[in-house]
Amino acid sequence: MRTRLPWAAYGVLATLAGVGLAHLAAALTDPATSPVLAVGSAVVDLTPAPAKEWAIRQFGSADKAVLVGSVLAGVLVLAAVAGLVARRRPPAGAAALLGLVLVAAAAVVGRPEAGVADLLPALVAAVAGPCALLLLARAHRGAAGTSATGTGRRTLLLTAAALGATAAVGGLAGRVVASLRARPEEVALPAPVDAAPALPRGLDDQVPGITPFRTANADFYRVDTRLDVPVVSTDDWTLTVDGDVARKVTLTFDDLLAMPLVERDITLTCVSNSVGGPYVGGARWLGVRLTDVLDLAGIAGTSADQLLSTDVDGMTISTPLALATDGRDALLAVGMNGEPLPREHGFPVRMVVPGLYGFVSATKWLSRLTLTTYAEREAYWTARGWATDAPIKIAARIDTPRALAQLAAGDVVVGGVAWAQERGGIDKVQVRIDGGPWRDAQLGPDGGDDYWRQWFLRWPATPGSHRIAVRAVAGNGEPQPAVRAEPFPDGASGLHELIVTVA
């Protein structure tokens, strides 16, 4: 066993060196072409929807880190096997590592927008990994046959140390290089011609534990299929509008900024959000009206029923054209809360369509808008059985107290947020204790029909275990659906309930 362990370690070390250098090469070109990320993305695409929902529920925003870690762990196990093969036949072990790289290269080529240049990181790994394993094998044999001077052993240790440093430096340098490219904070955005009114002061300071009225960019939820954030330069970015239009249009980032910009307060919700879940946030968005861009291409008389949007790497999302152009404030957003879009939220341009779940509306890193039909083109989520028409369901969430909280008897403040986009906003929020009568909660300030609303209720809590439930009613009179449903295929529903103990 002792003689085998070093060889397994050699396979792992050689692979890490190749992965580190490949990650650096990807950072200089396209981060998504890094071999581990490419394989991870392929795994995401092949994973059934229920399994994805389970991962999101279990790991939340850490699901991507867990997936990348799992893929890397699997690669390293196979790399250890390649090292063991190299114990007797070094060329065969190197060939095994090359086979792992070929799997990653296939994943890279399988990306919708893949080009020949995207294979560069895989090529780096294909050269670095096997060569590193052959170097370690040679150094090991030199150490095994060395004399008492120990020269061969020192050579082996130096080789291993150099490869370990290569892995660490390559991986770290890759992250640094990617962070320095196409920096959003260096973009200056024009002032809107149609600014949103000042957002009222929320209940943030009045109700401890309540969700802030405006979600900070750093705290805004992120749920998407990307394992790394695309690096897109505004100098190179273009948006193409094509399909069933009068004329094909291509806009640069400067072209988009030259159009009238509007500012709107809009709450976004992910279809993966479970009842009472965290994947919802309210922000102030700056952008161009989607209809203004579509009008440049001429859509009058189109037979299209779908607006197919594509991101810079070929990810597609389908939006019902009738809903995207029905007068709601659908935007091609360039700013978020007074700043350029953060990379993880779609820099330089993303779609924001109020009232629709993100999987049918909120394309990040946008590069193309195609007018087509559902019969002709199938988007990423549609092909996986999700709904084509997915309006956000009315919902209310309890933020405070937390589930299973231990509370002192007396005056307890129950509070949270509620949303009902494209239905006249929130008209009423009601709270029920232990199945008793529904009591009207006090509403916080109104940020508009497309924005969420804070609420709270003072409850004279008595000792014992208590069940708290909440429901909302929209401005158009529509009540929150009480029937329980899972997120798949068109969003979760049901009343948020929790149990607390009062001492």
pLDDT reported for residue 62: 73
Mean pLDDT over residues 77-101, rounded?
Answer: 93
CA nearest to 7, candidates 127, 98, 134, 149: 134
Instruction: Looking at the structure, tell me whether residues 59 and 133 fall in a common domain.
Output: yes
Query: What pLDDT score does 43 carry?
Result: 80
Average pLDDT over residues 123-142: 92
Q: How far apart are CA 188 and CA 144, in angstroms?
A: 62
What is the number of domains present in the chain? 3
**Cβ atoms within 10 Å, residue 219:** 11
3-state secondary structure of 178: helix
Report yes or no on 412 lying in a domain.
Answer: yes
- If you ran DSSP here, which 8-state letter would residue 191 be given? P
Same-domain pairing of 148 and 234: no
Q: Residues 224, 160: one domain?
A: no
Residue 61 has a pLDDT of 66
Residue 319 CA to residue 330 CA, distance in Å, equals 11
Containing domain of residue 438, as a range?
Answer: 395-502
192 lies in some domain: no
Close Cβ partners of 434 (under 8 Å, ≥ 6 residues apart)? 466, 467
My answer on whether 135 and 229 are in the same domain is no
Q: What is the pTM of this model?
A: 0.84
For residue 212, being part of any structural domain is answered with no
Give one DSSP letter per residue of 91-117, joined into a string. HHHHHHHHHHHHHHHHHHHTSTT--GG
As a whole number, mean pLDDT of residues 396-400 equals 98
Give pLDDT tens digits for 355-369.
999 999 999 999 999
Within-domain flag for 197: no
Using the Cα atoms of residue 210, residue 211, residue 213 and residue 219 in order, give the sign of their dihedral: positive
Q: Is residue 342 located within the same domain as residue 439?
A: no
pLDDT at residue number 365 = 97
Q: Average pLDDT in the 155-175 region?
A: 90
Choice among 47-51, 167-171, 289-293, 491-495 with the minimum mean pLDDT: 47-51
175 inside domain: yes
Q: Give the lowest-confidence range in 86-90, 178-182, 234-238, 411-415.
A: 178-182
Which three-class secondary structure state does DSSP give residue 17? helix
pLDDT band at 42 (very low <50, low <70, confident <90, very high): confident
- Which of 8-12, 79-83, 443-447 tops mean pLDDT? 443-447
**Segment among 73-82, 235-244, 479-488 with least mean pLDDT:** 73-82
Domain identity same for 90 and 171: yes
| Among candidate residues 354, 384, 414, the one where a domain is terminated | 384
pLDDT at 52: 67
Q: Is residue 285 part of a domain?
A: yes
Residues 39 and 72 in one domain: yes
Among the candidates 384, 411, 432, a domain finishes at 384
Residue 353 makes CB contacts below 8 A (sequence gap 6+) with 290, 319, 323, 324, 328, 330, 331, 361, 362
> CA 75, CA 13: separation in Å to the nearest integer?
12
Same domain for 401 and 481: yes
Question: Per-residue pLDDT averaged across 470-494, rounded?
Answer: 96
Q: Which residue, of 384, 410, 431, is where some domain finishes?
A: 384
Residue 231 has pLDDT above 60, yes or no: yes
Q: Residue 14 corresponds to which tokens in the numbers above?
A: 């050689």
Q: Are residues 379 and 435 located together in one domain of the fold?
A: no
Q: Kindly state whether residues 319 and 433 are assigned to the same domain.
A: no
471 found inside a domain: yes
Q: Are residues 362 and 484 in the same domain?
A: no
| Residue 472 domain-assigned (yes or no) | yes
Q: Report which residue type is found at 487.
A: P
Measured CA to CA, the distance from residue 503 to residue 499 in angstroms comes to 13
CA distance 172 to 334: 29
Dist. CA 174–CA 24, nearest whole Å:
4
Domain containing residue 426: CATH number: 2.60.40.650
Residues 325 and 233 in one domain: yes
Q: Label residue 148 by pLDDT band (50, 70, 90).
A: very low
**CB 128 within 8 Å of CB 22:** yes
Q: What is the mean pLDDT of the chain?
A: 92
